[in-house]
Amino acid sequence: MIDPMFPGMEFPAGVDPLDYMLQLPVWPPPPGADTIMTTNGPYQVWYVVTAVLCIILPSCFLGLLVYTRLAIAAFLEAADYCLFSAYALIVSQIVLGYCMVRWGSGVHQWQITAGELVHQMFWANLGAVVYCPLMFFIKTSILLQYIKLFAPHRSLNRVVWYGAWGTIGACFIAYMTFMF
């Protein structure tokens, strides 16, 4: 059966062309390649290792920061709240990355179906949406610390003060544009 939406392709009779195409491999395999369809690959374990390290190390440093701020200064600053927001977003980014791995991220394209790739790209798109505010909060925290160190008052170092606030504004506009 030839479908008018896909000229030149023939589909088995009684089969929906879209369902049929979603079951095909994403990419044709190279000669001699393993063609077993799977969403599990030998290198996917490295995502888990990297994700665990990328959450344990920031957790330790954030814990030290909170302890020193509360023990020495007895209050938290705006940069600290930006870091708390970024920490929550990086945890969600790791969860979204794991969802991508579950749908075959890290496996050759000829070993996953087009339907699995659609699910993988869905989670990747959500990860891209989370990435923009994550980077904004991290950069804002760094720039707020620059302001505190190099220009605690606007009159002391106008270039750093206006430059940092201008960069924060530019980052906000850029990341909002990238996100939508």
**Per-residue pLDDT, 179:** 83
Mean pLDDT of 106-125: 90
Tell whether the model's pLDDT for residue 85 goes beyond 90: yes
On whether residue 8 sits in a domain, the answer given is: no
On whether residue 114 sits in a domain, the answer given is: yes
Mean pLDDT of 147-161: 89
On whether residue 79 sits in a domain, the answer given is: yes
DSSP annotation of 111 reads G
**Per-residue pLDDT, 43:** 84
In this structure, of 13-22, 90-99, 159-168, the range with the lowest mean pLDDT score is 13-22
**Per-residue pLDDT, 127:** 94
Query: Is the four-CA dihedral 115, 120, 123, 129 of positive or negative sign?
Result: negative
**Per-residue pLDDT, 169:** 98
On whether residue 111 sits in a domain, the answer given is: yes
**Per-residue pLDDT, 172:** 96
Instruction: Answer yes or no: are the C-beta atoms of 79 and 114 closer than 8 Å.
Output: no
- What pTM, to 2 d.p., does this model score? 0.81
Report the share of the chain in percent with pLDDT over 90.
56
Q: 3-state class of 23 per DSSP?
A: coil
Domain containing residue 151: 17-27+39-179
More confident residue, 158 or 20: 158
On whether residue 169 sits in a domain, the answer given is: yes
On whether residue 9 sits in a domain, the answer given is: no
- Count how many domains the chain has: 1
Burial class, 126, CB count within 10 angstroms (exposed 0-12 / middle 13-18 / buried 19+)? middle
Taken as a whole, the chain contains a residue count of 180
Tell whether the model's pLDDT for residue 3 goes beyond 60: no
Tell whether the model's pLDDT for residue 124 goes beyond 60: yes
Measured from the Cβ of residue 145, the count of other Cβ atoms closer than 10 Å reads: 17
As a whole number of angstroms, the distance between CA 124 and CA 140 comes to: 24
On whether residue 5 sits in a domain, the answer given is: no
On whether residue 161 sits in a domain, the answer given is: yes
Mean pLDDT of 71-96: 94
Confidence at 161, pLDDT banded by 50, 70, 90: very high
